[in-house]
A = this chain, B = another copy of it.
Amino acid sequence: MFSSGKVVQLFYDVASPYSWLAFEVLCRYRNVWNIDLKFKPAFLPGVIYGSGNQPAVMNPSKLTYIVSDLTLLSEYFGVPMFRPSDLSEKDTLSAMRFVTALAEKEKEGDMLVERVSRELWKRKWRTHQDITQPASLTEAGLKAGLSANVVKEILSLSKSQPIKDKLKSVTQEALEYKCFGFPFIVCQVNEKAKVFFGSDRFELMAYFMGEKWMGPHPNKPTAHM
């Protein structure tokens, strides 16, 4: 397979709305920048506490800012989202094990990981539906195009020790890159590597890779870009 020499790893958790923005932008730019985009489903509390960080939403001023920031960003990025009633409710362990199991199962490509992750973000940040219960994960899986049998298999697999260990090891991998929150993006271009935190470093990432940033809609430039 042809390789452009540009590998971009996205460490994320569906608990993180900024990760959703980064995920959509990277999916849109995958072919534009010709990057080998690798999804790295991981567990946000693992990197927050593992790095000695504090959740931003615990600070009232930051929480106020994040709500205002996300409102404008989601409009500008074209990723509609709305604030769930409780922004600090972040129980995504089952959901991220579900995505991890799917990633392990889907050896060829990552189309299903992409679709299921998007459905989970939609439930959590747009329609405010549960993502902690098996029935909720089943619904998300079916909506993403998995068959009922595959959903059942992935659900069962997601509770196995190897999958629990896999999620831990990907989270640990992020910590080894000195990650302290998501989205965390590891960008490798030939011999060079650089990490980027947040959904606001794409212009800088493009500069690093020698590519062009055309705003959040590369295939549909807005009037303001």
Contact = CB atoms under 8 A, between A and B. Distances in A.
Contacts of A76: 204, 207
Interface in A63-80: 64-65, 68-69, 72-73, 76
A39 interface: no
Contact of A54 (B51, B54, B195, B198): B54
A179 interface: yes
A76 B196 CA distance: 14
A59 interface: yes
A222 B207 CA distance: 10
Given A60-B52, A61-B178, A203 B204 contact: no
Given A203-B203, A204-B76, A213-B224, A194 B68 contact: yes
**Number of copies of this protein chain within its complex:** 2
A178 to B, nearest CB: 4
A1 interface: no
A215 interface: yes
Contacts of A73: 204
A59 B197 CA distance: 15
Nearest to A77: B204
Interface string A197-210: 11011011011101
A96 B193 CA distance: 38
B53 A59 contact: yes
A43 interface: no
Given A60-B178, A198-B200, 13 more contacts: A51-B59, A51-B61, A51-B62, A52-B60, A59-B180, A61-B179, A65-B197, A69-B197, A72-B204, A72-B207, A206-B224, A210-B224, A213-B225
27 contacts: A51-B59, A51-B61, A51-B62, A53-B61, A59-B180, A60-B178, A61-B178, A61-B180, A64-B178, A65-B195, A65-B197, A68-B194, A68-B195, A69-B197, A72-B204, A72-B207, A72-B208, A73-B204, A76-B207, A200-B200, A200-B201, A203-B203, A203-B215, A206-B224, A207-B222, A211-B224, A213-B224
